Chains A and B, each alone.
Chain A
Amino acid sequence: MDNMSWFKRKDKGIQTPTEAKKEAPDGLWFKTPSGKIIHTRELKNNAYVSPEDGYHVRIGSKEYFEILFDENEFTELDENMESADPLKFKDSKPYPDRIKASQAKSGLKDAVRTAYGKINGLDLTIACMDFNFIGGSMGSVVGEKIARAIDHSIQNKKPFLMISKSGGARMMEAGLSLMQMAKTSAKLALLSEAKIPYISLLTDPTTGGVTASYAMLGDFNISEPGALIGFAGPRVIRETIGKDLPKGFQSAEFVLEHGFLDFIVDRRNLKSKLYTLLKMLK
């Protein structure tokens, strides 16, 4: 131990750059990309939207459930489902270790949580992805939980809301991940046959296999301001075309303009807008 370590905090987090802390702020103050500073309590009371510049902070299932379900009351489905390791996959570390580390860090079992409850008294099933679990990647657990949540919607004739937030399919489950795109689409075809409303909320970011399956299959595809939505990621496209991408490319506003979204909603109005729409469909 050299004497400098008396003064140097070794605890992780203290020296983490602010960018890396963007998600789920747990400090007292939060700084938006445009430099606005806001108290986290105020942020929470404002649906995690910065009041000064309208910046929508990336949030997860806990926060969305809190924002949407009446009195934050809901019944979670398949809350103990976890990843197996069918491929015995290993890159820099074995897949089960990666899962365990992610679980410990996030307090989540996997990258989606599913639940049913009421919004302003209307029944709704919600599946909400968590980006801080291996980049919100879709493997067997994500596919299976979404499939079962859709089953729940069909059996109970409740509308289904999918909140996507994902980098795409999970590589560590390879072919099995890919087929989750098929599985969820099959269930959505059945939901559609049953004429039960499906609202897909694409949040920042939604890309890859998630965009190319359930996220784009809503009766209503909606998003939040500024969310990144695309099939291929911006880096891959930049490398393919060998040019810089136009400003605003793949933003929710861009996707709306090109006809793939029904509307963009400020998170502070999300619940009331969903309620208005769902009530009309009753």
Chain B
Amino acid sequence: MLLDFEKPIAELEAKLEGMKKIALESDVDVSDAVKSLETKIKSLKKETFSNLTRWQRVQLSRHPDRPYTLDYIYEIADDFVELHGDRTVKDDKAIVGGFGSVNKQTFMFIGQQKGRNTKQRQLRNFGMANPEGYRKALRLMKLAEKFNKPIVTFIDTPGAFPGLEAEERGQGEAIARNLKEMFMLKVPVICIVIGEGASGGALGIGIGDRVLMLENTWYSVISPENCSTILWRSWDYKETAAEAMRVSSYDMLDLKLIDGIINEPLGGAHIDMRSMAKEVKKVILQHNKELSELSVEDRISKRIDKFCSMGVVSE
């Protein structure tokens, strides 16, 4: 699938392929033309992706080929043991987690998981967790704390599931409890927004010593579409809403609401999943090293102070 702004690039790439094919099948020398076309593609790519609007980044964050939580875990961890269930109601497939080893260091990986085809999407509930998902995440975090292993969370959700059973089983309470408990975790916590960071559903696994966003992701209190529906009373102002809410990684860094941005390959994370995961791995290891040098008390108080300084008021 191609997004609108990817299309001109794809067209040139198709032309290039055709040209190369002609060159193979005949003796015509097209090397100059190929070279100039390649340069053209490169500069168009650069131009397109360094001038993305906020809405275009939202679109990239939802790209159907974008790597999801398990893609990162399998790519980053040498071994991974997935763990299931909240020990109360059931196993929520919208949040996955388990211990994984990276360069002989064990981490607890937790994240929202989306599906790639219709069947998987249903199974994963589009990455929208029920209370069980948040409670499973908390159980795994406590397990990590018990065995003194750092925690990495991957955030990628269009929101916590707004369903009947979710309300009955306390969606609000489940998220709230995670927020409070995550502040007191004795182990390092690194949170990375890898796709969509929608509201409380994202924040429910998002309290960390480091909160990072991949370049082409969004994080806000509501999705641009829903904001548009409520404030402009129509779905059509989603682009305006994305601009007004300043949902991009660069905005969130500007507003001091996150600690850093992880750059994506030109064209987005899905263009080169391997190198994206390699970069994420590098960043995790680097931050974990810094964080493990702090004392437990220091880490917790810094974590609390950071979030407590967020917000702008006038007095």
A contacts, CB < 8 Å to B: 78, 80-84, 86-87, 89-92, 139-141, 143-144, 147, 169-171, 173-183, 185-190, 192-193, 208-209, 211-217, 230-232, 236-237, 240-241, 245, 249-250, 258-260
Q: A139-B311, A181-B200 are in contact. List 18 more A-B contacts (CB 8 A).
A: A81-B314, A82-B313, A86-B255, A91-B231, A143-B310, A171-B222, A174-B222, A175-B246, A178-B219, A182-B307, A183-B311, A189-B184, A211-B172, A212-B179, A213-B175, A215-B172, A230-B167, A232-B171
Minimum C-beta distance from A143 to chain B (A)? 5
B contacts, CB < 8 Å to A: 160-164, 166-173, 175-177, 179-181, 183-184, 199-200, 203-204, 206-207, 219-222, 227, 230-232, 244-247, 251-252, 255, 257, 303-304, 307-308, 310-315
- In the assembled complex, the Cα of A225 lies from the Cα of B46 at a distance in Å of 60
> Is the CB–CB distance between B315 and A231 below 8 Å?
no
> Is the CB–CB distance between A82 and B312 below 8 Å?
no
Q: What is the chain A residue whose CB lies nearest that of B202?
A: A178
Q: A83-B314, A86-B255, A176-B310 are in contact. Are A258 and B169 (CB under 8 A)?
A: yes
- In the assembled complex, the Cα of A178 lies from the Cα of B168 at a distance in Å of 23
- In the assembled complex, the Cα of A183 lies from the Cα of B162 at a distance in Å of 24
Minimum C-beta distance from B266 to chain A (A)? 26
> Is the CB–CB distance between A144 and B311 below 8 Å?
yes
- A selection of 16 A-B contacts at a CB cut-off of 8 Å is A84-B312, A84-B314, A87-B255, A140-B313, A175-B255, A175-B257, A178-B219, A179-B257, A182-B179, A182-B307, A183-B308, A216-B173, A231-B171, A236-B162, A240-B161, A241-B163
Minimum C-beta distance from B204 to chain A (A)? 8
> Is the CB–CB distance between B304 and A232 below 8 Å?
no
Contact of A182 among B207, B230, B314 (CB under 8 A): B207
- In the assembled complex, the Cα of A216 lies from the Cα of B204 at a distance in Å of 14
> Is the CB–CB distance between B162 and A185 below 8 Å?
no
Q: What is the chain B residue whose CB lies nearest that of A202?
A: B172
Centre residue among A190, A193, A250 by max chain B CB count within 10 A: A190
> Is the CB–CB distance between B183 and A185 below 8 Å?
yes
> Is the CB–CB distance between B311 and A140 below 8 Å?
yes
